[in-house]
């Protein structure tokens, strides 16, 4: 606003251009760091997506969700429970959709729920230089609650407990706290190694 006023008073095209650039950047950051409210619905034993994005891979009973720059980057608890383990690992910044992104900086969060242990891994991408987590070991989280944020392009991997089946496929688009990722097996058998489209 100050630059715009100065540009007008001084009749400066340079200040006008700088003012426009600052305005555009402000709008971009407001849009990028948006954090819309989400309504959590469905049975409590259904594991929800922890992130907005696209399923880019499914392996070893783990769904990999890639968040591009257009997605909401706030991560949410996929299930209610207690955080029993957190482990941060420094690393590089390969594109987060690469299979060898296990070398990237990451943060492991393990949530002990009434239905078993859920593993969630926040992975930094090419542009990302910061992974924020809002809780610590010993804290309790509620399904759908904001649990952290990864800035710019990044990935979140989610692994359900034994006795669950992933119900997403590669290429599916999901929304944090809204889209179901995995459901409990109704047969009572452990089919955790199988999933739709796997």
Q: How far is CA 89 from CA 122, 124, 134, in A?
A: 10, 10, 17
3-state secondary structure of 24: helix
Residue 168 has pLDDT above 70, yes or no: yes
pLDDT value, residue 71: 86
Residue with tokens 């599916």: 172
Q: pLDDT for 112-142, tens place per residue?
A: 999 999 999 998 865 555 788 899 999 999 9
The pTM of the whole model exceeds 0.95: no
- Tens digits of residue pLDDT in 181-190: 999 997 644 4
Lowest mean pLDDT among 4-13, 64-73, 159-168: 4-13
Catalytic option among 49, 80, 101, 154: 154
Axis crossing angle, helix 13-32 with helix 2-10, rounded to the nearest 10:
160
Q: Is 192 a catalytic residue?
A: no
68-108 pLDDT, tens digit per residue, is 878 888 999 999 999 999 999 886 555 544 554 566 788 99
137-168: buried (b, 16+ CB within 10 Å) or exposed (e) per residue? eeeebebbebbbbbbbbbbbbbbbbebbbbbb
DSSP tag of 101: G
Mean per-residue pLDDT of the chain: 79
Percent of residues, the chain, with pLDDT higher than 70: 66
Provide the token pair at 143. Answer: 């399904």
């Amino acid at each position: 606003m100050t630059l715009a006023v100065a540009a007008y008073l001084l009749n400066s095209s340079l200040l006008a251009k700088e003012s426009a650039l600052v305005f555009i950047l402000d709008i971009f950051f407001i849009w990028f760091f948006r954090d819309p409210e989400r309504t959590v619905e469905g049975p409590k034993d259904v594991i929800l997506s922890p992130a907005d994005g696209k399923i880019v891979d499914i392996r070893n009973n783990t769904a990999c969700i890639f968040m591009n720059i257009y997605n909401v980057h706030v991560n949410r608890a996929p299930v209610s429970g207690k955080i029993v383990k957190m482990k941060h690992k420094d690393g590089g910044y390969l594109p987060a959709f690469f299979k060898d992104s296990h070398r990237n900086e990451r943060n492991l969060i393990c949530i002990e729920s009434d239905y078993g242990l859920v593993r969630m891994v926040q992975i930094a991408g090419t542009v990302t230089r910061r992974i924020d987590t809002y809780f610590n070991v010993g804290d309790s989280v509620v399904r759908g609650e904001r649990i952290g944020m990864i800035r710019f392009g990044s990935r979140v991997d989610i692994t359900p407990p034994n006795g669950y089946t992933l119900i997403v496929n590669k290429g599916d688009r999901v929304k944090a706290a809204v889209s179901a990722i995995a459901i409990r097996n109704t047969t009572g058998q452990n089919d955790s190694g199988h999933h739709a489209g796997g």
